[in-house]
Amino acid sequence: MTIRVSHLITDLDTGGAERSLVNLVSGLDRTRFESHIITLIEPGPMAQPLAEAGIPVTSLGMSRGRPNMASVVSLVRHIRRMRPVILQTWLYHADLVGTVAAWFARPERLVWNVRCTDITQVPGDRSIGWIVRALALLSSQPDAIVVNSKQGRLFHSAAGYRPKLWVDMPNGVDVERFRPRRAEQASLRVKLGLDPQAKVVGLIARYHPMKDCETFLRAAAQFAQEHDDARFVLCGEGLDRDNEVLRLLIENLGLGERVVLLGRRPDPENIYPALDVLALPSVYGEGFPNVLIEAMACGVPCVATDVGDSADILGELGVIVPSRDAAALAQGWRTVLGRHAQGIGELVRERVLAQYDLKRMRARYEEFYESLALGA
């Protein structure tokens, strides 16, 4: 029996949820599972690896922030035509729209997927708060709610979520793609415009208030005063020279040529191994940050703020610092750099191999899907 699973997600941009979805469906056993992806709005760059993997993607063509009944009707028709055993929704908007559609399309099983903690703090977006409250009232509708972090589960329980079943499903990383490349580090750095002998600290994220790029750069300015060879790499959507606010901050902090702005890159596996330290200075919203396990799989230790499950992921091998504290962040980098001589790179990769291998995540999803299908 092949279990048909339709996944509904807002889009296929380069966020953590989108990457996790692609990582999941591209490696499921296709003799047992058939996957289809539906996006509320136009897909985005992560549709490409799905196409390469032969996973069909359908877009409902909604405008961002403007749901309409015509698209919901189209979704209902699509679900009826596909007749999935399981409809799995990813992120709040898809949870809400998918639940409404499921009332009419009647998939055998409905699953929500919670990927964050508190993102109601997003500046200028008041809709998130009421969506979370609406979903709390509807949270008994799905057959299960998958959550990728302990803190995400705690936050949503406190927000009023009362599902039939919570399913804990930590993220996984492809440990073959993300691997240490110490022998290649010098050449990787040269390609990025870096001195092979520099101390390199990286931030891989999108330009967004929750990621707190400003504190990263203020920490960089403090760290650079003590280390002439320090260099800083920022990689992700909006972290490029076209970002005037970011560029002006770098100039005002006197960082000048010390900062490399890469913008969005499709090959993070070539960025992490060039780093000595990865920083995650987020101030809210994180659930299970993929960047931490991706960096650790590459043998790169991390310094992170205490958001989401970051402390659990890093354990004693990383450093946790307070949010919005540039001095503490810079001190965290010093601490981690001092551990390099102790073989910390090998230890952080071993931690990922033991707990966060992508194969482990896929196996757990396959077991979960089969249990749902048998109960359908």
Q: Can you give the pLDDT at residue 15?
A: 87
0.85 exceeded by the pTM? yes
| Same domain? 168 vs 96 | yes
pLDDT digits (tens, 9 = 90+) for 201-227: 999 999 999 999 999 999 999 999 999
Does the residue 275 lie in any domain? yes
* Shared-domain flag, residues 41 and 85: yes
What is the predicted pLDDT for the residue at 238?
A: 96
- Euclidean distance between CA atoms 39 and 59, whole angstroms: 5
pLDDT score for 1: 78
Verify that 191 and 330 share a domain, yes or no: yes
Task: Name the residue range of residue 91's domain.
Answer: 3-172+357-375
Residue 124: which CATH number? 3.40.50.2000
Q: What is the pLDDT of residue 68?
A: 72
Residues 237 and 339 in one domain: yes
Residues 83 and 140 in one domain: yes
The CA distance from 194 to 191, in Å, is 7
Same domain, 120 and 224: no
Q: Are 128 and 92 part of one and the same domain? A: yes
Domain match, 77 and 224 both:
no
**274 shares a domain with 161:** no
Residue ranges for the chain with pLDDT beneath 50: none
Q: 278 and 297 share a domain?
A: yes
Residue 211 belongs to some domain of the structure: yes
Predicted confidence at residue 323, as pLDDT, reads 97
Residues 268 and 200 in one domain: yes
177 occurs within a structural domain: no
Whether residues 9 and 150 fall in one domain: yes
Domain count, the chain: 2
Strand 144-147 and strand 109-114: pairing? parallel
